Amino acid sequence: MVKSIIYYEDGTSIEGIWKDGELNGIGIFKTIELIISGEFIDGALSGEVEETDRETGKLVFKGEYFEGQRHGRGRLIMIEDGGEITGTWTDGKMSGYGEYTFPTCNGRFKIQGQWLNGDLMIGKYHINYQPLKNEIDGKRLPIDEKEREYMKKLEQYQQKELTKESKNFILKLDESIDCRISSSPLQIDLYERFHCFVGKQSTIPNSGEGLFAKIFIPSGTIISFYNGIRLTHELVNERSWDENNNTISLNHETVIDVPPYLNDTITQYSATISHKANHLVPGNNSVYASFYHPRFGDIKCIKAIKDINENEEIFVDYGYSNNDTPSWYKPPEK
């Protein structure tokens, strides 16, 4: 048996104990993006494994492997936003019963259902307004006045505010394309609507509607989601600002857009409402961030960077370049 490290020209490496030319026992495989540590059997990862992001050091996946890929029970953590999916993987893809936990609100909002090849096929929201329990011994955690009020609002939201249709709505991956924003454009998102609402008049004069906090929102909380049709940057760059009022860059390839014909949240589109947030700099209490949602796929969200009081307007920084801005935009004073 020989313990050694093999380095490859592409920057990857593998470390462990070799026996008869194959890695066996505890080892570490470093890819360009991940550090994968666990038990190797005859040269392949099999058994309990941890995947860690090389750049941030954050845990990405913890669970079972078989013959070099995810296979068995596991927990996947979204590196961008911290959401978690627990379930069973088969040949590298999650399939069967699973549970997605939203990254903020102490795990009180979940989506439970059936996944196939990594996609949500059938699911429902689960909202927990009961006292939280310690994961180690199952004992109830202490409840202060803020937590008690939060639980009360959750219970009222679940029992009195939500319609039967909303509570029973069957979720599935419904990723938008260039000509369809959603197969259920008026079906609200239960997490989002607990936290915010669209107000008819922004506190900024002549700004139309605005996005407002429905409850007290602590700094760091994911507030709302930004879904839309998916367009190329080339197409969006060729259009006028009048057509780009609700566009936001998803990545270097894709722009998300809620076009003017879907602007009415009563009759046209209300599945997500982040596009109703107005720009205010300095003074923004929130920022845009990347987010993975089991229903919408990879989208953007709005995240609080300050505590936001109930009924306070939610403001973001649109991030315009001074070289290309709409006519109403005024750069912040230096």
Q: What are the residue ranges in the chain where pLDDT is below 70?
A: 135-136, 322-323, 331-334
112-139 burial string, b = 16+ CB within 10 Å, else e? bbebeeeebeebebbbeeeeeeeeeeee
* Domain residue ranges in the chain: 143-316
CA distance 282 to 46: 52
Task: Give the pLDDT of residue 332.
Answer: 65
The pLDDT value given to residue 331: 67
Tell me the C-alpha distance between 120 and 98, whole Å: 9
Find the radius of gyration of the CA atoms of the chain. Answer: 23
Backbone angles phi, psi at 205, to 5 degrees: -55, 140
pLDDT, position 284 = 97
Model pLDDT, residue 334: 58
| pLDDT at position 324 | 73
Q: Specify the pTM.
A: 0.92
Q: What is 143-316's CATH topology?
A: Beta-clip-like (2.170.270)
Output the six-digit token pair for 181: 């924003």
